[in-house]
Amino acid sequence: MAGSDEVAHSEAMQFTQPVSGSSFVSARGNVTKLRALAVALLVTLASACGYNDVIDRDEDVKASWSEVQNQYKRRADVVPNLVNVVKGSASFEKDTLQAVVEARASVGKVSIDASTIDDPAKLHAFEAAQAKLSGAVCRLLAVSEAYPDLKASAQFRDLQAQLEGTENRIAVARKRYIESVSEYNKTVLRFPTSLGASLRGKKERPNFSGDPANETAPEVKF
């Protein structure tokens, strides 16, 4: 009888072991499927909440800001040459020339870094300094109309043309920046993309207060 019991027990073990192994494999398969489903769900949610859209708009803002800086720097580089040429006209209005010099110096004193586009105070200071220089340069070019010898200078005429082209580029760059910030802010503030913005720590950005369409580029008359 003992031998018979041992045989029966052995057969039972052989029968039950494959079932246990099959259950374990099945359980592991379910866990794998659940993990894959969770990953797919996270990807779907991230896409739906604009997780990547926020970064796209953020990069657009940074790119357009770089162009704004480049064009303003172009103007800042031309202004000293214009001042030197005008100095050659002894009778030129000294107050007008001094205003340009001081405005150009103010632009150089404004600190610009990566935080400028996120800081309303810094952006306002930058815009105010640039607007002051725009006004001073426009005044200088307007006054120069009363000085035939200065207008006849080939160097002065060339600088006038450079400034006109630069002012036009500035207006275009400002317009693009205003538009890119507007699109970025819509993404940050609107639901459901506001969720993606929150996950990435992105907030609404300040924008230029002036409309570039209202800025008048210096008029060049030959």
Report pLDDT for 88: 81
Q: Give 80's pLDDT tier (boundaries 50, 70, 90).
A: very high
Yes or no: say if 69 and 111 are a contact pair by the CB < 8 Å rule.
no
Cα–Cα distance, 24 to 29 (Å, whole number):
9
pLDDT at 152 over 50: yes
Q: Which CATH superfamily is domain 53-214 in?
A: LemA-like domain (1.20.1440.20)
Mean pLDDT of the chain: 82
Is a pLDDT exceeding 70 seen at residue 106? yes
Q: Which residue has the tokens 């052989």?
A: 14
Res 149: pLDDT = 87
What is the value of pTM for the model shown? 0.74
Confidence of residue 92 (pLDDT cuts 50, 70, 90): confident
State the DSSP string of 159-204. HHHHHHHHHHHHHHHHHHHHHHHHHHHHHHHSTTHHHHHHHHT---
pLDDT tens digits, one per residue of 160-208: 999 999 999 999 999 999 999 999 999 999 988 888 888 889 999 999 9
